[in-house]
Chain A
Amino acid sequence: MASVSLKNIHKSFGKIEVIKDVSLEIESGEFVVFVGPSGCGKSTLLRLICGLEEITSGVLEIGNENVTSLSPRQRGIAMVFQSYALYPHMTVYKNMAFGLKTAGEDKSKIDQKIRDAAKVLQLDQLLNRRPAELSGGQRQRVAIGRAIVREPRVFLFDEPLSNLDASLRIQMRIEISRLHESLDCTTIYVTHDQVEAMTLADKIVVLSEGKVEQVGTPMSLYNEPANLFVAKFIGAPAMNLIQAHTKAPLEDNEPRYINAEISGKSVRLPCLSYNYKDNQNLTVGIRPEHINILGEDQKTQILEEDLQLPVVIDLVERLGDVSYLYIHMEDGTPVVVTVSGQSKLNIDKKINLHIPATKIHLFNESGERIM
């Protein structure tokens, strides 16, 4: 167990800079998930921590020890690869023992460690099989077992579940989560799947184009995305983003509102303090599950500052427990609404949306959160 600290890490491949000034503190025992779209540099960042790629500039510390120029084998890490990377000509037992034998450990001790790990991962029956004779999930467990027996200071996972089918993925996700509980080891986990990120992480790091967009707990990222990128990336279906233009503040305007126009309609957007001028672009974000449909839900309390927008339904998806309504506003902006249960609304029906002011996220022209 050890803390990991990244200080102004840069990485370039030739002229292309893929990691741009990443600084990050990971506490001992923490489960950190790097998440982002493909090509955002999350795997590269993991490989930099692992030592498989050289850091162009910056300092990496593991357990308060500068490991920037050390090789992977000196860093005390263990990595689980997306492709498992099991040695195909060795049995499961030998796969797990291979790294330990090199370290020159006592034979009976090695054996004990492997048996223990095998028990935890339900591999007891498979120790004499070769990787080719295992299913995907079993291979994944062997790869994890190989990492566990080394008792590393930091576990690194590079998209470990993306080769598994959906049901197995959920099962392994729970197993990894349970394993982290019991081992209590610092873990860095890379994924492009936000569900994995939300469910596993103590702390999520959202990356985009080699930069850290936001770091925080899953719920803080969900409730208070720092910018448009995080707002769009976290949550499924994604947050609705509606363009708005500011209008000149009135003399008697209360300071906690912004006068704006959405789709030709004058609105007042709640905001604590934001100095704005006439005709600035704003983005209003609202999660699909926070939108109500007027007339459908009798309990909805409509406050004065809440938004009301007339829309038309394009498509209804019913999943049983929830339904997704795909609708468009008068200016054509698409909006998704999640309603619980099996919606009885039909295509082309005109409805009125109610957007509670307290649930609104506001982003300025450069995409930063202002409310």
Chain B
Amino acid sequence: MFSSLFNSSKNRGNSAFIHLFLLAYTLLALFPVFLIIINAFKTRKGIFNDPLALPTSATFSTKGFEKVMANSDFFHYFSNSLIITLGALFFILLLGAMIAWALSEYKFFGSSFMRFFMAIGIIVPIRLGSVSILETIVSLDLVNTKTALILVYIAQGLPMAVFILSEFMAQIPKELKEAARCDDVSEYKIFFQIILPLTRPAIATVAVFSIIPIWNDLWFPLILAPGEEARTVTLGVQQFIGQYVTDWNSVLASLTLAVVPVLILYMIFSKHIIRGLTAGAVK
């Protein structure tokens, strides 16, 4: 769609403008990340003297990383974050795809209410329900567990996942399902072997959208799992931020390290965001 827009000479000026705008936005978005990474490699003095400067031989230091690495708790936080993110992601994608398929393919009692219910989930931020979520988690005796966070994050991610996936699934040619039904293929097999593979680009999109808020979240770990056992990276970093003194080297180093897994996950999923997977199915 965009390539055809850019190819026509008439729109070349327009396309240059769009690119310029996107470039500016990219710089703006990357600037804080860039700032964190360069300062993570500087001495404390270097950070405060000139925060915008690149590390020089005089200011270069990996003291922050050494401190973080030496702190064995950090890897514990790290694995907590990873387990929670991947666990929640797995269920968001599986359940989201199943709900989306059910809503787009079958008409059943309460299906329109279900759709409406999911739409509300997109509109209303989950944090508004923090109090009752906390009450529920307490009554389930799940405080300070990873399970509590995974459950909450599934609830947080599902509505958007269902919304995106059901739109996408509605576009899958209905002849494919009909052909499969004529071919004596069960509904489960149609879902897992035809619909899911064809929905892969949308699933990758949803995965990328879901990972980042979960990984970065501070709110729910803080109120649901502040204990040592289920502490996540974002919460773990807070121990370096004191009321009077903040260990900026460690904070920035741990934040830099925390970017890495998200980056890797993002690269894995973005590779699958490819269009035209259904080419050759019909016509």
Report yes or no: A52 in contact with B280, Cβ–Cβ below 8 A: no
Interface: A79 (CB within 8 A): yes
Interface string of A224-249 (1 = CB under 8 A from B): 00000000000000000000000000
Interface string of B98-119 (1 = CB under 8 A from A): 0000000000000000000000
Interchain CB contact (< 8 A) of A88 among B178, B180, B277: B277
Minimum CB distance partner of A81 in chain B:
B175
Minimum CB distance partner of A50 in chain B:
B182
A51 proximity list for chain B (CB < 8 A): 182
Q: Classify the interface of chain A: helix, strand, loop or mixed.
A: loop
The segment out of B78-86, B123-131, B184-192, B255-263 that lies at the interface is: B184-192
A50 proximity list for chain B (CB < 8 A): 182
Interchain CB contact (< 8 A) of A146 among B183, B278, B280: B183
Interface: A182 (CB within 8 A): no
Report yes or no: B184 in contact with A73, Cβ–Cβ below 8 A: yes
Residues of chain A whose beta carbon lies under 8 Å from any beta carbon of chain B: 50-52, 71-73, 77-79, 81-89, 98-99, 102-103, 130-134, 139, 146, 150, 163
Considering only residues 167-226 of chain B, those with a C-beta below 8 Å from chain A are 173, 175-176, 178-186, 189, 193-194, 197-198
Minimum CB distance partner of B178 in chain A:
A52
Interchain CB contact (< 8 A) of B280 among A71, A103, A132: A132
| Cα–Cα distance between A102 and B188 once the two chains are bound (Å) | 11
Report yes or no: B184 in contact with A103, Cβ–Cβ below 8 A: yes
Minimum CB distance partner of B282 in chain A:
A83
A72 proximity list for chain B (CB < 8 A): 178, 181-182
Residues of chain B whose beta carbon lies under 8 Å from any beta carbon of chain A: 173, 175-176, 178-186, 189, 193-194, 197-198, 277-283
B282 proximity list for chain A (CB < 8 A): 81, 83-86
Give the shortest distance, in Å, between A182 (CB) and chain B (any CB): 22
Report yes or no: B281 in contact with A102, Cβ–Cβ below 8 A: no
Minimum CB distance partner of A143 in chain B:
B179
Report yes or no: B277 in contact with A89, Cβ–Cβ below 8 A: yes
Give the shortest distance, in Å, between B67 (CB) and chain A (any CB): 49
| Cα–Cα distance between A103 and B184 once the two chains are bound (Å) | 7
| A102 in contact with B278 given A83-B173, A85-B176, A87-B176 (CB within 8 Å) | no
| A87 in contact with B281 given A72-B181, A102-B183 (CB within 8 Å) | yes
Interchain CB contact (< 8 A) of A83 among B175, B180, B193, B279: B175
A81 proximity list for chain B (CB < 8 A): 175, 178-179, 282
Minimum CB distance partner of B176 in chain A:
A85
Give the shortest distance, in Å, between A344 (CB) and chain B (any CB): 45
| Cα–Cα distance between A139 and B182 once the two chains are bound (Å) | 18
| Cα–Cα distance between A133 and B197 once the two chains are bound (Å) | 18
Report yes or no: A85 in contact with B184, Cβ–Cβ below 8 A: no
| Cα–Cα distance between A83 and B194 once the two chains are bound (Å) | 17
| Cα–Cα distance between A88 and B278 once the two chains are bound (Å) | 6
Q: Identify the interface centre among B178, B198, B280: most chain A CB within 10 Å of its CB.
A: B280
Listed from nearest, the 10 A-B pairs whose CB atoms lie closest are A132-B280, A99-B183, A83-B282, A131-B280, A85-B175, A85-B179, A88-B281, A73-B184, A79-B182, A89-B197
| A98 in contact with B185 given A79-B179, A81-B175, A85-B178 (CB within 8 Å) | yes
A-B contacts, 25 listed (Cβ < 8 Å)? A72-B181, A73-B183, A73-B185, A78-B182, A79-B179, A81-B282, A82-B175, A83-B281, A85-B173, A85-B176, A85-B281, A86-B280, A86-B282, A87-B179, A87-B194, A88-B281, A89-B198, A98-B180, A98-B193, A99-B180, A102-B186, A130-B280, A131-B280, A133-B280, A150-B183
B176 proximity list for chain A (CB < 8 A): 85, 87
Minimum CB distance partner of A88 in chain B:
B281
In addition to A72-B181, A81-B179, A99-B185, 6 A-B residue pairs with Cβ atoms within 8 Å of each other are A51-B182, A88-B280, A89-B277, A99-B183, A102-B184, A163-B283
B281 proximity list for chain A (CB < 8 A): 83-88, 131
A85 proximity list for chain B (CB < 8 A): 173, 175-176, 178-179, 281-282
Give the shortest distance, in Å, between B196 (CB) and chain A (any CB): 10
| Cα–Cα distance between A72 and B182 once the two chains are bound (Å) | 5
Give the shortest distance, in Å, between A227 (CB) and chain B (any CB): 34
Minimum CB distance partner of B198 in chain A:
A89
Q: Identify the interface centre among A86, A89, A132: most chain B CB within 10 Å of its CB.
A: A89
Interchain CB contact (< 8 A) of B183 among A89, A98, A133: A98
| A88 in contact with B182 given A81-B175, A83-B173, A83-B175 (CB within 8 Å) | no
B173 proximity list for chain A (CB < 8 A): 83, 85
Minimum CB distance partner of A96 in chain B:
B183
B197 proximity list for chain A (CB < 8 A): 89
